[in-house]
Structures are given as C-alpha cells and as structure tokens.
Structure 1
C-alpha cells in the first residue's frame, strides 16, 4: 500500500513540474527574440551575468562624492508589460554629495520584489527604483534607466565594465544619455543636464 508520504511527494513533484511548464525560462543574456516573451515566461539571469555589476560603487573628486548601490532582484513580476512576465532585474540606488553638501540620497529606499513597479510617493510620475534594468542579450554593459527625480526625467544609463589589472578593484564607467524628446512649449523642455556627474569612472568599494 502506498504511504501518505509517497503520495505527498508525488503530488509536490507534479506541482513543481506543472509550474515549470507554465513558466518557460528565457536566458536574459542570450539573443532571444520577441516571440519567446510569452505570458508568464521568466527572463532569468541563467549565466549569472549580473554578478560583475552588483555591489557598491563610488566616484570621488575633492568634496564631491557619487555612490551607487546595485543589487539583483530575482523573478520580479512585470504586470505593466503588454505581455506580463517575470524577470531578474538590476536595481540601483544613488547618493550624490557636491561641495560637501548632500544633493540627493535614495540609498534608504525600501525596495522589494513586490513594489518595484510602484509609483514613487513624492515624485509620482516615476517608479520607486532610482535605477532599473539588466544586462540584456550579449551586451557588454548593464542597460538601465536612471530616474533623475530632481530634474523630473527618466533617461538611459549604462554601466560599462573597465579593464583593470589583477588585484585592482573593479571599475565601471557611468554613461547617461538623454532620449529624443518632443516639446510643444517652453515649459515642456527638459534640462539636458543631470543631477549627478556623467561619464565618470566608479570604483567598487
């Protein structure tokens, strides 16, 4: 006679297999195509390609300091997409001090897997994560969106790994780029500058 434990094990196994079947995995760092992004698929960091970008990065010049903290969030449910799916994400926070005075500090933002796509409580036009994206396809950089809350804009951001000597700390170059923007009045023109420094090299600390 089959024991209850065996029946329970078989039931759990079938459940796990069923979940896997309903959640096809797509390697986020591969050359996937749009046809592979189906409802409830999982854009997963299969090869751990996010790892080099995770950690705390810092740039200093005199009394100016930019600190960026990057972390990996796994299997975040994207319900805003036309095709709802799950995805691993790189999410960052930043703090900028200029001439010894703090300009902005988002390091204490309480970001979790469940509030990634929640609106910011103050800057309501934007999402809560100050920096969000991933290392997509076979790109040799992290492709991100930078929420510049003080300038009221969200723009493209790249973290490009730099070559370093053995034993040296890792370094990345920060690149911020404005997207094309059509303005129909003077009030709609966006400031082309950014709150934080651009084209700087940050060191992992």
Structure 2
C-alpha cells in the first residue's frame, strides 16, 4: 500500500511539473507571462555564481553565509513555482557564536514555513531571491535576535566567465536595509541595527 501511495505521489509531482508553463527566471518576463501554476525556473543556471560558502573575517569576528538552490518551490500566495536561492548564516563575535542557522534543513516543502522558535519570522534566513542581473540578488533577510524581517542585497564584485563557460567569482558585497515601518506613538518599534555586520565584503571559500 505504501508503495502504491508513493508511486501516486511521484506521478502527481511529475504531472505538475509537466503542466507548469516554464518562465526563465533571468528573462525580461512581464505580468502576462506569470499565470497560476507557472514555474519561474533557473533555466540558464544563473544562480550558480552565488551558490557556495562566503566568509567575512575581522579579527575574531566572522560571518559565514552559505547559498544553495532549491528547485520548484511552491508559493501559496502567488500560486506559482519558483527556483529559490536560499541563504543561511553563522555569526561569531569576539570568538563567541552569536547565531547559527547553517544546520537549518530548508527544502521545497518548508521553504515558506514560519520558524518554530520565532513564529513571526520565516524558517529560511534568506529567502525570496529576486534575480536582478548576473551579479545582484535581493532577499528577505530574517534577523531572528532582533525579531525583524528586512532586505538583503548580495552583489558579486568580480564575476568572470572562462572559456569553458564556468563562472569565477571571489568577492561579494552584503548590504542590509530596513523596510518602511509604521511608527507607534512616535517611535519606531524596531531596532534599526542588525545582529550581523552590514556593508561588508565577503570572500568565496
């Protein structure tokens, strides 16, 4: 019985993939191209230069960011599938680990879930990559310790492509910024600062 159910699930998944109109995530698509059930796919492997481990070090302070790609993530709000570039981070300050999300198990089924310990924040630390061009991606950034979700820009600084079509990049800049928030009684309810360093250059490991 379990084998039958598993077979049906696989067939259903393959059927969904076959029926989903594919839109190149790196193309100049418009609203007419985005229909319910469509699939924004990384057709040309445009996410590849971002994928991997990046690190910033300043004395005994270290920030590590690891990017990976998850294929065909379904978003209930937009009712479409997208390939997602997911970021996870670990920050060490004065040799002491401040926060570590590197062991978070993020997959296509839970990428949009809420964090079990921070229910106002997403489980994925950096999610929703908006592909701007070959060197820039935007994310929703979860700062769990400050209980806020803001914006992260990750810009590749020295992207080159060799004769074999392979991407070579060694440095990138991380920029964090706050979204607009309503003031409560004349005061901003959120700390404008971030737990991790901002406006820094990271090196690919």
TM, length-normalised to structure 1: 0.84
Aligned to 1:159: 154
Match status 1:77 vs 2:74: yes
1:197 equivalenced with 2:197 (yes/no): yes
Tell me the residue number matched to 2:21: 24
Residue 107 of structure 2 corresponds to 112
Over 3 Å counting, the alpha-carbon distance change for 1:187 and 1:45 in structure 2 is same
CA distance in 1, matches of 2:62, 2:77: 35
**Whole-angstrom distance in 2 between the partners of 1:16 and 1:193:** 43
CA contact (8 A) 2:156 2:169 kept: no
| 1:133 to partner: Cα distance | 2.5
Q: Distance in 1 between matches of 2:13 and 2:58?
A: 52
Gaps of 5+ in 1: 1-14
Could you give the per-residue CA deviations for residues 140-182 of structure 1, whole angstroms, max 9, x where no partner exists?
Answer: 3011111001111111111100127999861110011111111
Q: Is the partner of 2:32 in helix, strand or coil?
A: helix
- Alpha-carbon distance in structure 2 between the residues aligned to 1:102 and 1:31: 42
Q: How many residues align?
A: 189
Poorly superposed stretches of 4+, deviation over 4 Å: 15-21, 164-169
- What's the RMSD between the two structures over aligned residues? 2.5
Q: TM-score, normalised by structure 2?
A: 0.84
Measured after TM superposition, the shift of residue 16 of structure 1 is 11
